[in-house]
């Protein structure tokens, strides 16, 4: 007598989506705490933060904001494309999202490089001679934008992995929850930048 029972692979779409929302909530708590720290220090050092903010390029920040907004649109469109069974368009849109993410990092690299080449970085001689408020501003700038850049890199790896699954037909119109989750994560990255941009580049 054969007691072996075949069990089909169980898919818990709601569980996967709930897990992603919980993860997003923890990320919002992390950045929310950093935003509070920034707000307190800005309140205590308004003039220093005002002067330090002028060292940043509003144009570069604006370009990166547009890049991320468009990338959020393309990842959202890729989810719609897979629902309409258009695998090719899905892959194209995901590829565009990855390209835009890479472009964001390139811009951020040149922005950071420019600041570092002028001696504006934590521990530099120039900042050691600056006011406490300016030191705090750039400390928070590098910490928060650096952490955001790390999330961009993780998001690119996540989307790249999902893109591979789409290419192998492991994600289709009736099974796209992981693609949807990658989109949710990418929207989180976008949302965080929407807060970082005005805090560092616009509020002077």
pLDDT at 5: 39
Q: Return the residue matching tokens 């919980």.
A: 22
Task: Give the domain CATH number at 164.
Answer: 1.20.120.80
- Does residue 142 sit within a domain? yes
Task: Give pairs for 139-143: CB < 8 Å, separation 24+.
Answer: 140/34, 140/37, 140/38, 140/41, 141/52, 141/56, 141/200, 142/112, 143/34
pLDDT at res. 10:
58
Q: Do 108 and 145 meet the contact criterion of CB atoms below 8 Å apart?
A: yes
- β-sheet bridge partners, residue 175: 172
Predicted confidence at residue 68, as pLDDT, reads 97
Which range of residues forms the domain containing residue 75? 19-202
Indicate yes or no: pTM above 0.85. Answer: yes
In a domain, 5, yes or no: no
Strand partners, 172: 175
Report yes or no: 78 and 184 within 8 Å, Cβ to Cβ. no
Whether 140 is in a domain gets the answer: yes
| pLDDT tens string 67-82 | 999 999 999 999 999 9
Residue spans of the chain under pLDDT 70: 1-13, 204
* Whole-number pLDDT of residue 77: 97
User: How many independent structural domains does the chain possess?
Assistant: 1
Q: Is 8 inside a domain boundary?
A: no
Q: Are 171 and 7 in contact (CB under 8 A)?
A: no
Q: Which pLDDT belongs to residue 204?
A: 66
């Amino acid at each position: 007598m054969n007691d072996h029972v075949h069990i089909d692979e169980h898919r818990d779409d709601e569980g996967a989506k709930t897990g992603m929302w919980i993860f997003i909530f923890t990320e919002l708590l992390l950045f929310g705490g950093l935003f509070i720290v920034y707000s307190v220090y800005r309140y205590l050092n308004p003039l220093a933060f005002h002067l330090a903010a002028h060292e940043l390029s509003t144009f570069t920040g604006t370009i990166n904001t547009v890049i991320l907004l468009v990338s959020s649109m393309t990842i959202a469109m890729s989810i719609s494309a897979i629902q309409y069974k258009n695998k090719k368009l899905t892959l194209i849109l995901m590829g565009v999202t990855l390209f835009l993410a890479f472009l964001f990092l390139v811009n951020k690299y040149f922005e950071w490089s420019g600041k570092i080449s002028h001696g504006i970085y934590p521990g530099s001689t120039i900042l050691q001679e600056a006011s406490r408020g300016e030191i705090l501003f750039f400390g928070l700038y590098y910490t928060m934008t650096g952490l955001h850049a790390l999330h961009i890199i993780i998001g690119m790896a996540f989307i790249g992995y999902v893109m591979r699954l789409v290419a192998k037909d492991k994600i289709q119109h009736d099974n796209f929850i992981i693609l949807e989750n990658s989109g949710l994560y990418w929207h989180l990255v976008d949302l965080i930048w929407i807060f970082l941009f005005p805090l560092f580049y616009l509020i002077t």
